[in-house]
Amino acid sequence: MNVEVVEYNKQWTVLFEDEALKIRKILGKELIDVHHIGSTAVENLMAKPIIDIMPVVKEISRVDNYNSKFEDLGYEVMGEFGMAGRRYFRKGSSRRTHQIHIFEESNSKDIERHIAVRDYLREHPLEAFEYGQLKSRLAASFPTDIISYMDGKDSYVKELEIKALRWYGRLQNK
């Protein structure tokens, strides 16, 4: 998979909304909410042009009943894909366009982690800029090596997540 990091594109919000509507139709009453997460959800943040979507559902095991409907939309069904309690779907094989990370509403840890990082970066533009610069440098260094790209940002992302959760927790306790 090629690693491409590009300038923020306002169209990403539209692409999220279009896909969220389709997800709402598929999951129906099982769905609680759909969140735009990841770097494409943060204005002015450089990102890989892949829309990350996080639906929250009542019961995670029921999501498996909708696999064929996600396949009809062009998604590859990946199951938990290394994260217990998640259902992961990806669209676009070598040129990925969307990723869906579905969590059960009781999985507040993973849901909060994703929302905290997104909201923290939205509220801290300097941090978002620095993160975008790191991603851009890594993409230039590893244009065809997604593993090295991910490894290169791993420690930064872990630190970012800790800061974001601390910040988010303070907001929630006000």
Predicted local distance difference test score (pLDDT) of residue 5 = 98
Per the CB < 8 A criterion, the answer to whether 40 and 49 are in contact is: yes
Task: Tell me what pLDDT residue 174 has.
Answer: 65
Rounded Cα distance, 29 and 168, in Å: 29
Average pLDDT over residues 106-117: 97
Rounded to the nearest angstrom, the gap between the alpha carbon of residue 56 and the centroid of all alpha carbons in its chain is 13
Crossing angle for the helix pair 125-141 and 146-172, nearest 10 degrees? Answer: 170
pLDDT in tens, 16-61: 999 999 999 999 999 999 999 999 999 999 999 999 999 999 999 9
Q: pLDDT tier at 93 (50, 70, 90 boundaries)?
A: confident
Q: What digits encode the pLDDT tens for the residues 57-88?
A: 999 999 999 999 999 999 999 999 999 999 99
Angle between helix 125-141 and helix 108-123 axes, rounded to 10 deg: 100
pLDDT of residue 172: 79
- Model pTM score: 0.95
Rounded to whole angstroms, what are the CA distances from 122 to 79, 114, 128, 164? Answer: 30, 12, 7, 11
Query: Distances from the Cα of 123 to the Cαs of 82, 92, 154, in angstroms?
Result: 30, 31, 22
pLDDT tens readout for residues 133-158: 999 999 999 999 999 999 999 999 99
Q: Does residue 128 register a pLDDT over 70?
A: yes
Specify the pLDDT at position 170. Answer: 86
Q: Which domains does the chain have, with CATH numbers?
A: 11-172 (3.30.460.10)
CA 162, chain centre distance (Å):
17
Whether 108 has a pLDDT exceeding 90, the answer reads yes
Average pLDDT over residues 84-108: 95
Q: Report pLDDT for 94.
A: 78
With tokens 């539209």, the residue in question is 14
pLDDT at 80: 97
